[in-house]
Amino acid sequence: MPAIEIDPLAVLRQVFIKVLDEQMFLFAEDVDLAEAPAVDEPMSAVTITYHGYSRGELYLALSRRFCRIITGSSLGVDESEIPASVDLDDAARELLNMTCGQFMTAYFGEEPVFDLCPPQCRGLTAEEFAETRRVFNGLSFMVDDNLILLSYTPEA
- What is the predicted pLDDT for the residue at 76? 83
Q: Average pLDDT in the 76-102 region?
A: 91
- What is the predicted pLDDT for the residue at 2? 53
HSE-CB of 153 using CA atoms within 13 angstroms: 10
Query: In the predicted model, is pLDDT for residue 21 greater than 70?
Result: yes
Q: At what angle do helices 88-108 and 8-24 cross, to 10 degrees?
A: 130
Label residue 78 by pLDDT band (50, 70, 90): confident
Domain residue limits, the chain: 8-155
Distance of CA 152 to the CA centre of its chain: 10
Query: In the predicted model, is pLDDT for residue 126 greater than 90?
Result: no
What architecture does CATH give domain 8-155? Answer: 3-Layer(aba) Sandwich (3.40)
Angstrom CA distances, 96 to 18, 19, 58, 90, stand at 12, 9, 8, 10
Distance in angstroms (rounded) separating the CA atoms of residues 88 and 65: 9
Query: In the predicted model, is pLDDT for residue 156 greater than 60?
Result: no
- What is the predicted pLDDT for the residue at 83? 85
Query: In the predicted model, is pLDDT for residue 71 greater than 80?
Result: yes
The pTM (predicted TM-score) of the whole model is: 0.92
- What is the predicted pLDDT for the residue at 3? 53
Q: Average pLDDT in the 5-15 region?
A: 93
Query: In the predicted model, is pLDDT for residue 1 greater than 60?
Result: no
- What is the predicted pLDDT for the residue at 40? 86
Q: Average pLDDT in the 19-33 region?
A: 94
HSE-CB of 2 using CA atoms within 13 angstroms: 14
Q: Average pLDDT in the 55-78 region?
A: 92
Q: Average pLDDT in the 52-63 region?
A: 94
H or E stretch covering 156: none
For residues 117 and 56, the answer to whether their CB atoms sit within 8 Å is no
